[in-house]
């Protein structure tokens, strides 16, 4: 129904910033929860942040809270992930995913995983190194 398309990845030094974009192709994000995940080399895909389009509620994983911020652009049907004070451990492929049923309560409780998401982007690579 809706295809997330990520962009904005790149290679930066520690302490620098990047802004990732997740555009809704073939539909809109209205009524959806949108989550960012990341996968470091040799590691499992992990949750980063969640956003409820209707209402604008957000939730961040402890490791990124205070550094990362999710926002949206209604006209562009796009969700952004602003990443500040980047660290080498932030390196990985970042994925945007959408679900029409995922609730913020489930995210806060940690009672969800990658299979909770219905639609996935192909990912964008973020590399943080000196």
Residues 31-45: pLDDT tens digits?
999 999 999 999 999
- List Cβ neighbours of 59 (8 Å cut-off, separation of 6 or more): 49, 50, 104, 107, 108
| pLDDT at residue 112, rounded to an integer | 87
Q: Count Cβ atoms below 10 Å from residue 41 Cβ, excluding itself.
A: 7
* Res. 2: pLDDT tops 90: yes
18 to 86, 94, 105, 108, 126: CA distances (angstroms): 8, 12, 28, 25, 9
Asked if 126 contacts 83 with a C-beta cutoff of 8 angstroms, the reply is yes
| pLDDT at residue 18, rounded to an integer | 98
| pLDDT at residue 1, rounded to an integer | 81
| pLDDT at residue 99, rounded to an integer | 96
């Amino acid at each position: 129904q809706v295809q997330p398309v990520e962009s904005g990845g790149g290679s930066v030094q520690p302490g620098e910033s990047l802004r990732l974009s997740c555009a809704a192709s073939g539909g809109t994000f209205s009524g959806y929860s949108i989550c960012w995940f990341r996968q470091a080399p040799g590691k499992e895909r992990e949750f980063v942040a969640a956003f409820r389009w209707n209402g604008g509620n957000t939730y961040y994983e402890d490791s990124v809270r205070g550094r990362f911020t999710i926002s949206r652009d209604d006209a562009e049907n796009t969700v952004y992930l602003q990443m500040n004070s980047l660290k080498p451990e932030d390196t990985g492929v970042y994925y945007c995913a959408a679900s029409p049923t995922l609730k913020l309560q489930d995210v806060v409780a940690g009672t969800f995983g990658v299979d909770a998401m219905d639609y996935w982007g192909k990912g964008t690579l973020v590399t943080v190194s000196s």
